[in-house]
Amino acid sequence: MAELTDTEKTSLDEIPHPSLPQGSNLYGGTKVFPDYQAEHGETYFTLVHGIAHESSVSFVAILQATRALRKGFETAIYFYGPGSLNCLATRGFPTTGNAAFPGEMNINDQLKTFIGEGGKVFCCRFGLSLHGAREEDLIEGVIPTHPLDVQDALIHYARKGAIINSTYMF
């Protein structure tokens, strides 16, 4: 451990930092709501307007949609605006597919899992164009859509009675 100044030691000692062994319970594990499963024909729709890796909102939305899919819901995710950047297969450094930092490929990997398990992913072409991204750079299986489709997709899934999760980052 690095040698600390008296001020750094004082700062550390202001709030006790208990030495807990790995695996110690810090929080309770009681699940409050039932673990609902989809009933026949139920749908779950997620809208994502969050930039990849700028916050957890996009990744968490994909994880939630994957969970809904695994619960039996017909599930779709619609990326629009800057959220469209989440759908790019060209992520990686120094070459595509290589992670420059742990988690760089988490969105790509989770979207591939989601599509592979039967989920639908839509991506707004206009959102891509705003950021200079090309349609040919989309992850395989992502369905490109017209900018006017954002509203009509929302109407489509609302009329189906979908549970709608709308995430937005600005």
Whether residue 73 lies inside any domain: the answer is yes
The answer to whether residue 105 is domain-embedded is yes
Query: Could you tell me whether strands 74-79 and 43-49 are parallel, antiparallel, or unpaired per DSSP bridges?
Result: parallel
> Domain span at residue 46?
39-168
Backbone angles phi, psi at 17, to 5 degrees: -115, 95
Left if phi > 0, otherwise alpha if psi is -120 to 50, otherwise beta: which for 30? beta
Q: Which residue positions in the chain have pLDDT lower than 50?
A: none
- Count the neighbouring beta carbons within 10 Å of the beta carbon of residue 93: 11
Structural domain contains residue 8: no
CA angle 110-116-119, nearest 5°? 80
Tally of domains within the chain: 1
Q: Determine, yes or no, domain membership for 143.
A: yes
123: helix, coil or strand?
Answer: strand
C-alpha distance from residue 119 to each of 4, 86, 122 (Å): 52, 16, 10
pLDDT tens profile 56-94 = 899 999 999 999 999 999 999 999 999 999 999 999 999
Give the pLDDT confidence score for residue 170 in this predicted structure: 66
Q: Which amino acid is at 16?
A: P
Instruction: Give the domain CATH number at 56.
Output: 3.40.1260.10
In a domain, residue 89? The reply is yes
Residue 26, domain member (yes or no): no
* Residue 2 included in any domain: no
Classify residue 15: in a domain, yes or no.
Answer: no
pLDDT for the residue numbered 95: 94
First CA to last CA across the chain, in angstroms? 40
